[in-house]
Chain A
Amino acid sequence: MRNEYLRLDRIEGPFVVLSEVSDAAYDEIVELYADNGQSGRKGRVVLLDEDKAVVQVFGSTTGLSSINTSVRFTGKPLTIPLSKEILGRTFNGIGEAIDGGGAVYSPSRGDINGRPVNPVARQYPRNFIQTGISSIDLLLTLIRGQKLPIFSGNGLPHNELAVQIVRQARIASEEGSDFAIVFAAMGVRHDEADFFIRSFEESGVLERVVMYINLADDPIVERITTPRCALTAAEYLAFEHGMHILVILTDMTSYCEALREISASREEVPSRKGYPGYLYSDLASLYERAGMMKGRKGSITQIPILTMPNDDITHPVPDLTGYITEGQIVLSRDIYQNNIYPPVDVLPSLSRLMKDGIGKGYTREDHPDLANQIFSTYSRVREVRDLAQVIGEDSLSDTDARYLEFGRQFEERLIKQGFNENRDITQTLDLGWHLLSIMPQEELDRISPEIYRKYGRK
């Protein structure tokens, strides 16, 4: 059986077309060797039509010609080596070591596409992760096994927030349980990647971090495989070794743009804003790889970061992400301009899993009522602010004036927090009650009488 071919029919962008191919499998990996010595290029079969195969080349097609290239079919999908040795290592978007530490050898290899988890085998996540960040712990509680993205904009401090979460989060709360961080960078700038690496170093976790890096000037085809490699590594560490894994994926917007670029070059029918119609399914195939499984110890918690083009939350990337992930942390330029870090806009933010992971037995019994009340009060603050802009603060009723005061203090004292400030959950909850004491009791309609008696206005 022939599995090596010496002629290319067509080369276009990242694609090469071969003919008279037999026995090729859909999605298998091919190796391309050009005569100029540039070796080890890989590609993936994306279309088979009779004896023709379309191969998408990782890296670039520069230097390939229709006669100088030999193509070998491997018969296997893209796999990466898996062992505990990967901890502390850095790889490129197709899982090749780039830290000079040599290749990782392991008998165990994982298909980067993974397999969907059977919904029956999933374990519903319920364990609260304390991040030490008040706005998140109180109002957008992170749960172990959750996928909670940060919706940010260019120039907003999403990287700082992610690093603060990594540093402060108590991902493995039980004694003796192990944790690790998997970091996937897709199309980020060199200095951004450096910031993360430096921060990991400073907080002394570098030997527990696995990195898959595809920088802004690296080949875009590899941008598609970067998060898949990272998640395959995460699944291995979580479900084979029982570790609690925090996965940071940044920047999902660059990932989606790479997907669009490739889709356009394949002349696919575009849907919204030129993104391919399968963007939702494609994103789901990444995000759904978070979670916990019955009978296995580990967990995968995902914090994808995306920058909303023009701060527009209805843009397809944040929009489709929000439909798949279990909530979102939205950063706001307005709040940041008022010199508040982290600039979390709590109203459009949400943690869907919070309802089952807070309250009695998890955080504290007053947490659900308190969070609900603060959301409702703060949403009224926004309305009162609009009104105050029109009629002036002096003409506001007494109650409305108190709303304004609550809003000010809430942002200045609860949302605002130092980059190195770590507040525990009791501190945060008490602060919440303290702020609510600004409001008259009649306005607190979300708090049950029993809870109010116990915690209200001390």
Chain B
Amino acid sequence: MAENKGIISMINGPVIRGRNMRAFRMREMVMVGKDRLIGEVISIDGDKATIQVYEETEGLKIGEEIISTGRPLSLRLGPGIIGSIFDGIERPLDAINRMSPGYLPKGIGLISIDEEKEWEVSLLVSTGQKLGPGQVFGQVQETGSVMHRLMVPPGISGTVVSVVPDGRYDLNQVLVVLRDDNGREVPLKMMQEWPVRTPRPVMKRKPIDRPLITGQRILDMFFPIAKGGTAAIPGGFGTGKTMTQHQLAKWSDADIIVYVGCGERGNEMTEVLEDFPALIDPRTKRSLMERTVLIANTSNMPVAAREASIYTGITLAEYYRDMGYHVAIMADSTSRWAEALREISGRLEEMPAEEGYPAYLPTRLAEFYERAGMVETLNGQEGSVTIIGAVSPPGGDFSEPVTQNTKRFVGAFLALDRRLAHARHFPAINWLSSYSGYMDRLADWYKENAASDVVDLRAQALRLLHEETKLLEIVKLVGEDVLPDDQRLILEIARLLKNGFMSQNAYHSEDTYVPLSKQYLMLKTISHLYSRAYKAVRKGIPISRIRDDKLFDRILRMKYTIPNDDLSGFDGINREIDRFYDELDAVYA
């Protein structure tokens, strides 16, 4: 096929139009102008086509050429992804910084993972063996914590005709040659390509049956996120979305973390780059960066690449899922992605729906969140992709289109509350407006892996918090003193739940990550306190005696005073509760 060339006929910010484009395909990747800016065909009309350009179009001229690449916007997938930082279309930012230090240059061209780097490969197949799509033919130790499994790309199968011996190879080396059913030879390399907008195939979807343990009490105990599930974290500015996302990226028990900084602050990505290598994953005892990949399209980087960054992230996540890993992807923030859609749509003069967003916004959101899931991969392994998307509603108003449409497609909704954030109660997740639709499906897991009564404890705690809200309405009008003692006890216990359990200090070395066993014992202790105190109230003992400052204070501080690796301190606290109320009972007997 002759090289296809179009000619630029219109330039409007990141959107350009070309003519002589009959041979171009929808969603094809193109190179624009003399700087070879990367773009993507987004609509075709006769011999004209509209292209969104992933770089600044400043200096572009009418009449410059548009070159076809013949393939859709795709990623190169292979070793070298983990531990790196890429822009919205998988161009490595550290390599770019080496080429041109400081500012991002114009016309970076199409570069991707380092193809020349050599990796120590062990091959796992021999000649004559039959291989199907997704099957593992070799492996590479990509980082200390990630074994990169080399897979036959989807849609390819055949018999192995030749294999190289184990050794050091670069990404373009042919490692295995297959002969397919038609007798054609197919070379397999460490690297494969996949179009970002197409979900990677799996054998089948499996039901959700276990939580993503995050070490954050309010999530793990009250509003769990499931492995393979979806969650949204909406919140106005300053409510701690990014903070929460960072905590999840640090402490979730996923094998791989894909963190997409989509239209957010440059310094936040820098912070991750500085912090993560120094932090230790509690499970593998290795640096967190060894399981993390970052996609950065900060708010001042080209807007069209922002639209693509989400797809780049999810495609990387699916690729590692196919190796049999549990992957969690954090997208911060999906609102900026939706706004990028809106901006492009506006420049195309499409008919706007709500608040200027295009009418296809819900469809796009659904397509994205539906790429999450617990699956059986093509090679029969179990893997999952969990999506956690931050949403930045204008003015903190959850009735806006992105929040509302996201709510329809996610399983857990963790609403951040400005009032809590102002009181510096973090994570500022509002326990009344948040929910997790996964609790029923995860109940069995919790009963088996945490404790048999954890579901009941959770229900009791949430009931008390709900009660408290109603009581606070009354307190606002008449003050706390006039409430009957059993209701004042609820207020006291709710206060403990809020300050001693739900609020968690991300900067405290012991409190930033809390294992499930400690979370359970903390909840259990508060529940024990409640039941003893409640009995005392029923006996008519005044609340001023029941609420002992020292005892309550000790429980409030148990999150700091009891270390994560030695939970024996809980026995002491529970004994003290018993002793205190036994003595109190004796006085009032």
CA distance A445 to B511 in the complex (A): 15
Contact call A124/B104, Cβ cutoff below 8 A: no
Given contacts A269-B349, A269-B356, A322-B238, contact A278 B343 (CB under 8 A): yes
B11 cross-chain contacts in A, Cβ below 8 A: 26, 47-49
A125 cross-chain contacts in B, Cβ below 8 A: 267
A34-42, A97-105, A387-395, A419-427: which lies at the interface = A387-395
- Tell me the smallest distance from the CB of A80 to a CB of chain B, in Å: 16
A448 at the interface (CB under 8 A from B): yes
CA distance A285 to B102 in the complex (A): 16
Contact call B63/A22, Cβ cutoff below 8 A: yes
A120 cross-chain contacts in B, Cβ below 8 A: 85, 93-94, 96-97, 270, 273
Ordered nearest first, which 4 A-B pairs have the shortest CB separation?
A314-B395, A284-B299, A322-B237, A115-B103
0 or 1 for each of A332-343: is its CB under 8 Å from B? (1 = yes) = 000000000000
Which residues of A in the span 12-40 have a Cβ within 8 Å of any Cβ on B? 21-28
CA distance A26 to B60 in the complex (A): 5
A348 at the interface (CB under 8 A from B): yes
- Closest chain B residue to A143 by CB distance? B267
A137 at the interface (CB under 8 A from B): no
A60-68, A196-204, A217-225, A287-295: which lies at the interface = A287-295
Given contacts A278-B303, A289-B300, contact A119 B270 (CB under 8 A): yes
CA distance A51 to B560 in the complex (A): 70
- Tell me the smallest distance from the CB of B464 to a CB of chain A, in Å: 19
Contact call A26/B266, Cβ cutoff below 8 A: no
0 or 1 for each of A273-310: is its CB under 8 Å from B? (1 = yes) = 00011101100110111010101100000000000000
A291 cross-chain contacts in B, Cβ below 8 A: 266-267
Contact call A118/B102, Cβ cutoff below 8 A: yes
Which residues of A does B touch, CB under 8 Å?
A: 21-28, 47-51, 77, 113-125, 239, 268-272, 276-278, 280-281, 284-285, 287-289, 291, 293, 295-296, 313-316, 319-320, 322-324, 326-328, 347-348, 350, 352-353, 355-356, 368, 372, 375-376, 379-380, 386-387, 390-391, 395-397, 442, 445-446, 448-449
B499 at the interface (CB under 8 A from A): yes
Which residues of B in the span 326-348 have a Cβ within 8 Å of any Cβ on A? 336, 339, 342-343, 345-346
Which residues of B in the span 241-270 have a Cβ within 8 Å of any Cβ on A? 261, 263, 265-267, 269-270
- Tell me the smallest distance from the CB of B390 to a CB of chain A, in Å: 11
A26 cross-chain contacts in B, Cβ below 8 A: 11, 57-61
Contact call B267/A22, Cβ cutoff below 8 A: no
B450 at the interface (CB under 8 A from A): no
Contact call B392/A391, Cβ cutoff below 8 A: no
Contact call B266/A117, Cβ cutoff below 8 A: yes
One of B269, B296, B356 near A270 (C-beta < 8 A): B356
Contact call B300/A288, Cβ cutoff below 8 A: yes
- Tell me the smallest distance from the CB of B49 to a CB of chain A, in Å: 15
One of A21, A285, A319, A396 near B237 (C-beta < 8 A): A319
B69 at the interface (CB under 8 A from A): no
Contact call B265/A288, Cβ cutoff below 8 A: yes
Contact call A375/B424, Cβ cutoff below 8 A: yes
Contact call A379/B269, Cβ cutoff below 8 A: no
A328 cross-chain contacts in B, Cβ below 8 A: 237-238
Contact call B57/A277, Cβ cutoff below 8 A: no
Given contacts A442-B553, A445-B499, contact A122 B397 (CB under 8 A): no
B271 at the interface (CB under 8 A from A): yes
B187-195, B474-482, B529-537: which lies at the interface = B474-482
CA distance A386 to B58 in the complex (A): 55
B237, B303, B394: which has the most chain A beta carbons within 10 Å?
B237
Contact call A314/B238, Cβ cutoff below 8 A: no
B423 at the interface (CB under 8 A from A): yes
- Tell me the smallest distance from the CB of A127 to a CB of chain B, in Å: 14
A379 cross-chain contacts in B, Cβ below 8 A: 422-424
A376 cross-chain contacts in B, Cβ below 8 A: 423-425
Question: How many A-B pairs fall under 8 Å by CB?
Answer: 221
- Tell me the smallest distance from the CB of A266 to a CB of chain B, in Å: 10
- Tell me the smallest distance from the CB of B401 to a CB of chain A, in Å: 11
- Tell me the smallest distance from the CB of B246 to a CB of chain A, in Å: 12
Contact call A324/B265, Cβ cutoff below 8 A: yes
- Closest chain A residue to B426 by CB distance? A372
- Tell me the smallest distance from the CB of A135 to a CB of chain B, in Å: 15
A123 cross-chain contacts in B, Cβ below 8 A: 270
Given contacts A116-B301, A120-B273, contact A277 B342 (CB under 8 A): yes
Which residues of B does A touch, CB under 8 Å?
A: 9-13, 17, 56-63, 85, 93-94, 96-97, 101-106, 236-238, 261, 263, 265-267, 269-271, 273-274, 296, 298-301, 303, 336, 339, 342-343, 345-346, 349, 352, 355-356, 392, 394-397, 418, 422-425, 475-481, 499, 507, 549, 552-553, 556-557, 560
Contact call A387/B298, Cβ cutoff below 8 A: no
CA distance A348 to B424 in the complex (A): 10
Contact call B10/A49, Cβ cutoff below 8 A: yes
B476 cross-chain contacts in A, Cβ below 8 A: 386-387, 390
- Closest chain A residue to B302 by CB distance? A116
- Closest chain B residue to A380 by CB distance? B423
One of B10, B345, B396 near A50 (C-beta < 8 A): B10
CA distance A269 to B342 in the complex (A): 10
- Closest chain A residue to B481 by CB distance? A397
Contact call A277/B346, Cβ cutoff below 8 A: yes
B270 cross-chain contacts in A, Cβ below 8 A: 119-120, 122-124
Contact call B549/A23, Cβ cutoff below 8 A: no
Given contacts A48-B10, A117-B266, A348-B422, contact A124 B60 (CB under 8 A): no
CA distance A350 to B421 in the complex (A): 10
- Closest chain A residue to B9 by CB distance? A50
A21 cross-chain contacts in B, Cβ below 8 A: 62
One of A118, A124, A347, A356 near B97 (C-beta < 8 A): A118
Contact call A445/B97, Cβ cutoff below 8 A: no
Contact call B61/A25, Cβ cutoff below 8 A: yes
A316 cross-chain contacts in B, Cβ below 8 A: 394-395
Contact call B9/A116, Cβ cutoff below 8 A: no
Given contacts A51-B62, A445-B556, contact A118 B267 (CB under 8 A): no
Q: List 18 A-B contacts (CB under 8 A).
A: A22-B63, A24-B62, A77-B59, A116-B301, A117-B266, A119-B273, A119-B298, A122-B269, A124-B267, A269-B345, A270-B356, A271-B355, A272-B394, A281-B343, A375-B423, A379-B424, A387-B479, A397-B481
- Tell me the smallest distance from the CB of B465 to a CB of chain A, in Å: 17
CA distance A50 to B17 in the complex (A): 9
- Closest chain B residue to A276 by CB distance? B346
